[in-house]
Amino acid sequence: MAQCPVAGKRPGARIALTLLCLLSLLLLAGCASPRGSGEVQRSSDPGIAGQWVVVQRGDTLGSIAARADVPLARLQRFNPDVNPNRLAVGQRLLIPTQQERAPSGGPYRYQVRPGDTYSAIARRFGTTPARIQSANPGVEPTRLRVGQIVQVPLRGSGSAVASSSSSSGAASTSRSSGSSSTPARSASPSPAPSSLPASARNWPWPLEDYRIVRAYGTDNNGTLQPMLLATNRGARARAVADGDVRFAGSMRQLGRVVIVHHADNLQSVYALCDNLLVNDGARVTRGTPVCEVGFSNATERFDLLFDMRLGGKPIDPRRVLR
């Protein structure tokens, strides 16, 4: 540490020496300070484990693995459709958690995420729902819990077959997106089921006062867009049917989200929420308020992203709602 000489009796000399000491200390602090704010730093961030991350300029699969503190091989096997030599800016990668494993040839140890079904997991890793169900005899496929660990046997003895990558949760849409926003998907969605259960009829809309600003369907690029409803300040989204809350929390790009599982393998998703009014694991009845609709600075509206799924596959809510 810099040593400052003792000042003489003259006031001017004491002031000058004091300023010199302060300047020396500031220079030393500057030399020891971290990199300038203009330089991008991507240190280890284990907090991204289990999340979807978006590839930024300069990212490599190795650098992302280092940030997440997971083995490179595990990261690559959890993203079997990704070409490590051709990462694209904006591409999404699923970061495995420390509890997950991906041994060569399988079975993989997979942690269930919001909205997951055996069908969605099977598509991701190039296997079949029947193989997953057979490997998990004590697990009910229709009652998967977020955070639950399941075994995922692969179709063959090698690594997982490349398959279309899609988020197993709700369709991704940024809170700041407007009616023309595009969820990040790398492949065309699976076709919606042609028939619906008899119970999926004449359900109420999630909002009492709403306007459809984006209908369910594909955009000009062939990307599936979930429904977006505009409403008023203070509006509350309500459960469209009886069910169990399987997720109530935050998701990247979706803000606060509620996912309710209903009878006959149906799910409803309420995203871009502000305050959540239900807890994970709660039982709700039709009309129960699940969240307060949030405000979008980009659109200057109160928007609710509403999605419905059957067996994990998206369906047009208008086929179910009255």
Query: Domain end: 133, 153, 173, which one?
Result: 153
Contact between residue 286 and residue 240 where contact means Cβ atoms under 8 Å apart: yes
Instruction: Give Dmax (Cα) for the chain.
Output: 96
Domain of 250, in residue numbers: 210-319
Predicted confidence at residue 27, as pLDDT, reads 40
Predicted confidence at residue 164, as pLDDT, reads 30
Contact between residue 313 and residue 190 where contact means Cβ atoms under 8 Å apart: yes
Question: 136 lies in a domain?
Answer: yes
Count how many Cα atoms sit within 13 Å of the Cα of residue 219 in the half-sphere of its side chain: 14
The residues that bridge with 245 in the sheet, in sequence order, are 260
Query: Both 232 and 256 in a single domain?
Result: yes
Question: 184 lies in a domain?
Answer: no
Query: Both 90 and 116 in a single domain?
Result: no
pLDDT along the chain (322 residues), means of 10: 49 47 42 37 68 88 88 90 82 89 88 88 87 87 89 62 33 39 40 75 93 89 88 95 92 87 94 93 95 87 94 91 88
Predicted confidence at residue 262, as pLDDT, reads 94
Question: 22 lies in a domain?
Answer: no
Angle at 312 between CA 125 and CA 148, to 5 degrees: 65
Question: 254 lies in a domain?
Answer: yes
Query: Both 309 and 279 in a single domain?
Result: yes
Query: Both 219 and 260 in a single domain?
Result: yes
Query: Both 217 and 237 in a single domain?
Result: yes
Contact between residue 69 and residue 100 where contact means Cβ atoms under 8 Å apart: no
Write the burial class of residue 190 (CB in 10 Å: 0-12 exposed, 13-18 middle, 19+ buried). Answer: middle
Query: Both 224 and 314 in a single domain?
Result: yes
Predicted confidence at residue 193, as pLDDT, reads 56
Residue 316: C-alpha distances to residues 148, 198, 288, 309 (Å): 29, 16, 22, 8
Residue 160: C-alpha distances to residues 106, 128, 157 (Å): 8, 12, 9
CATH number for the domain harbouring residue 278? 2.70.70.10
**Backbone phi, psi, residue 291, to 5°:** -165, 160
Predicted confidence at residue 180, as pLDDT, reads 38
Question: 185 lies in a domain?
Answer: no
Query: Domain end: 95, 115, 132, which one?
Result: 95
Predicted confidence at residue 195, as pLDDT, reads 82
Query: Both 77 and 139 in a single domain?
Result: no
How many whole angstroms separate alpha carbon 313 and alpha carbon 120? 8
Question: 84 lies in a domain?
Answer: yes
Residue 34: C-alpha distances to residues 16, 29, 37, 39 (Å): 29, 10, 9, 10
CATH number for the domain harbouring residue 58? 3.10.350.10
Query: Both 305 and 272 in a single domain?
Result: yes
Query: Both 86 and 114 in a single domain?
Result: no
Domain count for the chain: 3
Nearest Cα to Cα of residue 154 among 124, 179, 183, 184: 124
Query: Both 264 and 242 in a single domain?
Result: yes
Question: 256 lies in a domain?
Answer: yes
Query: Both 59 and 119 in a single domain?
Result: no
Which helix (H) or strand (E) segment holds residue 211: the answer is strand 211-214
Question: 196 lies in a domain?
Answer: no
Query: Both 114 and 66 in a single domain?
Result: no
